[in-house]
Amino acid sequence: MAVTLRTAWLTGGYLLAAAIVYFSLAPTASASLEQGWDKVYHLLAYLTLMLWFAQACERRHWPLLGLLCIVLGILLEFAQRYGGYRTFSYDDMLANVGGVAVAWLLAAAGVNQGLRRLNRWYRRTS
């Protein structure tokens, strides 16, 4: 895998993680969050994060990646508890774990091959 492409992919993943941190801690007044859609957002955010990094890293690193994603979700829930304007939720933590688990299953099924395909295309065109 080309180092520059992998580096760009990892940078994108770090930016994705930073966006998750920001949106988890920023105050919000969205009506959709009040209707329970936040669990779907949690699941999709952590599914995307885990699947993104599963493309850039070897399968042997997935347990660590999954653990880091789960720990991030737990720490952000506790940060919300003490932030004063967001609420702490075990259900959100469960949705985060669910997202990581679904991403792991998708990656194991081969859905995580996007970066390798992009890399092959990049090498052919350059």
Residue 36 belongs to what domain range?
3-125
How many domains, the chain? 1
**Environment class of residue 87 by beta-carbon count within 10 Å: exposed (0-12), middle (13-18) or buried (19+)?**
exposed
On the 0-12 / 13-18 / 19+ scale of CB atoms within 10 A, 67 is exposed
pLDDT tens column, 58-93: 899 999 999 999 999 999 999 998 877 788 889 999
Query: Smallest Cα–Cα separation from 49: which of 64, 66, 24?
Result: 66
Q: Quick one: which of 123, 92, 5, 96 has its CA closest to 55? A: 5
The pTM for the full model equals: 0.84
Low-confidence winner among 1-5, 6-10, 30-34, 35-39 (lowest mean pLDDT): 30-34
